[in-house]
Amino acid sequence: MFHLILRKYHMIHGRNRLISYRYHLIPCKYRIRT
């Protein structure tokens, strides 16, 4: 059961990491405006 929760957490963490990576790709000027 613990392994399943860990796997689920890893999937969510990976997804968040991808979103943050895409967010970092956006230029600083655009980021400051938003």
Asked whether the whole model's pTM tops 0.75, one would answer no
Listed in sequence order, the residues at least 6 apart from 23 whose beta carbon sits closer than 8 Å to its beta carbon are 31
Give pLDDT, residue 34: 58
DSSP H helices, the chain, are 2-25, 28-33
Q: What is the extent of the structural domain holding 29?
A: 2-33
Distance between CA atoms of residues 5 and 10, nearest Å? 9
**Count of structural domains, the chain:** 1
| Tens of each residue's pLDDT in the chain, 34 residues | 577 777 777 666 767 777 777 776 766 666 666 5
